[in-house]
Amino acid sequence: MATQTWFITGSSRGFGRALAVAALEAGDNVVATARKVDQQDDLVQQYGDRVLPVALDVTDRSAAVAGLEAAVGRFGRIDVVVNNAGYANLSPVETTSEDDFRQQVDTNFWGVYNVSTAALPILKTQGGGTVVQFSSIGGRVGGSPGLGAYQAAKFAVDGFTRVLATETAPFGIKYLIVEPSGFATDWAGASMQIPDLGPEYNQTVGEIARLLSGPAATAGDPKRAGEILVRMVKRQNLPSHLLLGAGAVQLAQSYSQSQLEEAAAWEAVSRSADFDQDYPVEL
């Protein structure tokens, strides 16, 4: 397969860094973006001119446009756009400040919107490409106490991407939503702020805080994840969603089963809302 060019947000650490290295090891080119461009110096030293470091705050749409234009200027095209940049703080919805909540949504959803929509004219002009959106198993099953802003944004990424996939299918653009469970990254480490939760939310948000410091939060290997995704993107046919990690598979299967059971249990009530159905029904 011909050399591909990757545009990866948040490539200074975690999944973004692992994916950048995996793509470079596969012989591809990487536009490595991060808030601080010097965080990519080691990649340039090791892989030379196959790396283009770009300073990018994904909440700045004009910066996203400029970064993508720089990528095309260096490599001629972009084959894979990866929206990986994101973070979470842990606190109850009730006590999370509005500024904190908005900032998390700005990065985790609007950042995806900015980069995705800025990339569309390029991908359409060149006749296709692949967009990889990093979500989370929490973006499918939800309900994790303390992660209201993060999971709300990830649900939005899923819905947004499903619409994009339908709208842009005639242009040859493919999409892959990645849903990891716990991985050995800095997501639940220094990059996550956890204020004093107090006794009121100790049983709910406090339990999540304790889980995030345990082995389940680091079960996944980012290096393996990066290598899997590089191989996956080179396939002709992609799944719409890719779970990563045994925990993600278990949670997704359990959640889907419970959804089917609930829909069946309330089927008569649900159907009764239509004009041509029996009404009223027993509740």
Domain 5-269: which CATH number of 3.40.50.80, 2.170.190.11, 3.50.50.60, 3.40.50.720: 3.40.50.720
196 confidence band (pLDDT: 50, 70, 90)? confident
- In 3D, which of 48, 47, 14, 9 has the Cα closest to residue 31? 9
Task: Note the pLDDT of residue 198.
Answer: 84
Q: What are the domain boundaries of the chain?
A: 5-269
pLDDT digits (tens, 9 = 90+) for 29-56: 999 999 988 889 999 999 999 999 999 9
Residue 132: which H helix or E strand, with range? strand 129-134
Cα separation, 178 vs 180, in Å, equals 6
Q: Is the pLDDT of residue 188 over 80?
A: no
Among the ranges given (64-73, 107-116, 199-208), the one the predictor scored with the smallest mean pLDDT:
199-208
Mean pLDDT of 169-185: 95
Task: Note the pLDDT of residue 184.
Answer: 86
Task: Note the pLDDT of residue 189.
Answer: 72
Mean pLDDT of 232-242: 96
CA dihedral 88, 244, 16, 70 (to 10 degrees): -110
Q: Indicate yes or no: pTM above 0.85.
A: yes
Q: Compute the chain's Rg from CA coordinates.
A: 20
216 confidence band (pLDDT: 50, 70, 90)? low
Residue 212: which H helix or E strand, with range? helix 205-212
H helices of 48-91, in order, are 61-75
Mean pLDDT of 71-100: 96
Strands 129-134 and 173-180: parallel
pLDDT digits (tens, 9 = 90+) for 104-125: 999 999 999 999 999 999 999 9
Beta bridge partners of 133: 83, 177
243 confidence band (pLDDT: 50, 70, 90)? very high
Catalytic residues: 135, 150, 154
